[in-house]
Amino acid sequence: MRQDKIRTYSELKQLGTFAERYNYLRFKGSVGEETFGRDRWLNQIFYNREDWKRVRKEVIMRDGGCDLGIPGYEFGPRQMVIVHHMNPIMLEDLLSQNRIDLCLNPEYLISTSLQTHNAIHYGKDLVAPTEIIERRPNDTIPWRQ
């Protein structure tokens, strides 16, 4: 499932819109496509490591708490933040000291919402989240204006 080109944060940040970044990251996978199979427990061990937790926090801070690092797409207080591996990680990456850099280097990671993350892996097209509309008193009651 490896792609031909390694995706990097340095390239991603050159793309200014949410749609451009999303298209850069899309895997075009399918639901049910096996990644770790019976060895999924190994990737769960990885996500509980202290070095992963440290890098995860670092990436969320670098991205300003925004989906795909785009200002204006900030995560809500109850929204799940996923730090996404821009290049699919494989079992051998987790088991090899020589390839663990692919899993822990912020250059290969980006903050996403659950919706964006799932669309990157399985979605056909993602409608970019809309900007929050500032509410004013009586704006939903036109007869009171």
Helix (H, G, I), strand (E, B) or coil at 113: strand
Question: pLDDT (tens digit, 9 = 90+) per residue, 102-127?
Answer: 889 999 999 999 999 989 988 766 65
Tell whether the model's pLDDT for residue 50 goes beyond 70.
yes
Please give the residue range of the domain that contains residue 71: 9-127
Domain count, the chain: 1
Per-chain mean pLDDT for the chain = 81
Evaluate whether residue 4 is within a structural domain. Answer: no
Question: pLDDT (tens digit, 9 = 90+) per residue, 68-98?
Answer: 999 999 998 888 999 999 988 877 777 777 6
Distance, CA of 17 to CA of 23 (rounded, Å):
10
Evaluate whether residue 101 is within a structural domain. Answer: yes
Evaluate whether residue 144 is within a structural domain. Answer: no
Residue 130, C-beta contacts closer than 8 angstroms, at least 6 positions apart: none
Evaluate whether residue 132 is within a structural domain. Answer: no
Distance, CA of 141 to CA of 139 (rounded, Å):
6
User: Position of tokens 């999303």?
Assistant: 22
Evaluate whether residue 133 is within a structural domain. Answer: no
Q: What is the pLDDT of residue 28?
A: 65
